[in-house]
Amino acid sequence: MLFIYIGEPEDLRSPLIFFEGLRLFDRYEAGEQAVLVHIYFSQDKDMEDLQEFESLVSSAGVEAMQVITGSRKAPHPKYFVGEGKAVEIADAVKAVGASVVLFDHALTPAQERNLERLCECRVIDRTGLILDIFAQRARTHEGKLQVELAQLRHLATRLVRGWTHLERQKGGIGLRGPGETQLETDRRLLRNRITQILARLEKVEKQREQGRRSRTKADIPTVSLVGYTNAGKSTLFNQITEAQVYAADQLFATLDPTLRRIDVADVGETVLADTVGFIRHLPHDLVAAFKATLQETRQATLLMHVIDAADLRVQENIDAVNTVLEEIEAHEIPTLLVMNKIDMLEEFEPRIDRDEENKPIRVWLSAQTGVGVPLLFQALTERLAGEVAQHTLRLPPQEGRLRSRFYQLQAIEKEWMEDDGSVGMQVRMPIVDWRRLCKQEPALEEYVV
């Protein structure tokens, strides 16, 4: 049986989570040999869904002993699958000697427990599988805290009424009652631990916010890499920055955000951020737990959406990423599409696609070979510096500091003195700099003539 505790282990992949040695609930211990279950809920059997599930399992370091598929119109309330299919799964577990059953779907706590009783082994749904992968990938203290938060929120719905015979706080005559049951204690401990983690992550977020403010004051734009998992974001990040960020041909190779400064022609110093990849049906608790990490995406000047051009499900992957961007309120940030892995396409040359206004909207390249990366820098220059704001201003005499800001930005094209002592000027600057300056100087828009 699996004993689960709450706390901060060095390796979050371990099934043991420590908190004063208190056992929360019993479950079968998960091993490394699994039976996989994938159910189709439409007539069109999309094999790519199953292949992605198998990639997730491989990324978790689990050996797939057998794959069971089936079709249903709707999930069964007790087992998710039909009773006959549930028995088939249980028989397969015994036949191949598996120690865990992995479902490519979200299961209710009751469905998990019913399946575990029938199969006599641990049952983990898609959310639990992704959480396990994230636990393996977390390297920083912040990343581990975020993973633990998501794990605890997932576990909170799966507490069982164990040890209810250990009733506490019994009263005397006229005050007798069941006291606090073990289940109530477990829930309280989970809530307390979640509160502690949220407080620590709030401190992390404040530290990140200070860094973003410093970059904003220095007028340094931020470009954030986003994309479907395993699209090649970290490989592209390394190609651009010459960094040594971990990159591998596996799902969720990158978990912790990495920031590097790069130089973009006609723009200058720019911050490039590599963040966690997205996937279809990304657990909501995971998105919420990684709020601090995803803030780098929400606050970006430009998003570089990296896409695996060799994937057969290009548009579906794009839609999945856009769904998450909308969930974190980053869908309105200007975006440049990067069609990666053209080295895996037949006779495909790097190029820049433009819209009707001649603005770069898509770059075709190979992050692995470096082919097309110079075109990406060209597109970045045009996107970051190409959009220009032109205004005529009249600054009052006391706004000398604001006037010096325009000189620092080399934005003044013409300047003159007015009869009332105010300073008239014509300014021309990248629109991203203008918007940033308006946020920093709320009175600026009042001086526009």
Q: Provide the angle, in degrees to the nearest 10, between the axes of the packed helices 109-119 and 83-96.
A: 50
Residue 433 labeled ligand binder: no
Contacts 24+ apart (CB under 8 A), 186-190: 186/22, 186/24, 186/25, 186/159, 187/156, 187/159, 189/6, 189/19, 189/22, 189/24, 190/6, 190/24, 190/152, 190/155, 190/156, 190/159
Residue 232 labeled ligand binder: yes
Residue 265 labeled ligand binder: no
**Tokens of residue 128, six digits:** 């639990």
CA distances from 338 to 109, 233, 270, 275, 380 (A): 40, 10, 18, 15, 11
Residue 25 labeled ligand binder: no
Residue 358 labeled ligand binder: no
Question: Which neighbouring-strand residues pair with 305?
Answer: 226, 337
CA distances from 74 to 42, 67, 77, 83, 200 (A): 10, 20, 9, 13, 41
Residue 229 labeled ligand binder: yes
Residue 106 labeled ligand binder: no
Residue 392 labeled ligand binder: no
Residue 224 labeled ligand binder: no
Residue 318 labeled ligand binder: no
* DSSP secondary structure code for residue 425 in this structure: E
Residue 270 labeled ligand binder: no
Residue 152 labeled ligand binder: no
- Contact 122/2 with Cβ under 8 angstroms? yes
Helices (H) and strands (E) in the chain, counts: 13, 16
Residue 288 labeled ligand binder: no
Residue 231 labeled ligand binder: yes
Q: How many other CB atoms sit within 10 Å of the CB of residue 192?
A: 12
Residue 233 labeled ligand binder: yes
Residue 219 labeled ligand binder: no
Residue 276 labeled ligand binder: yes
User: Which pairing describes strands 2-3 and 26-27: parallel, antiparallel, or unpaired?
Assistant: antiparallel
Residue 58 labeled ligand binder: no
User: How far is residue 110's CA from residue 116's CA, in Å, rounded to a whole number?
Assistant: 10
Residue 366 labeled ligand binder: yes
Residue 255 labeled ligand binder: yes
Residue 343 labeled ligand binder: yes
Residue 424 labeled ligand binder: no
Residue 341 labeled ligand binder: yes
Residue 252 labeled ligand binder: yes
Numbered residues of the known binding site: 227-234, 252-256, 274-277, 340-343, 366-368
Numbered residues of the known binding site for Mg(2+): 234, 254
Numbered residues of the known binding site for GTP: 227-234, 252-256, 274-277, 340-343, 366-368
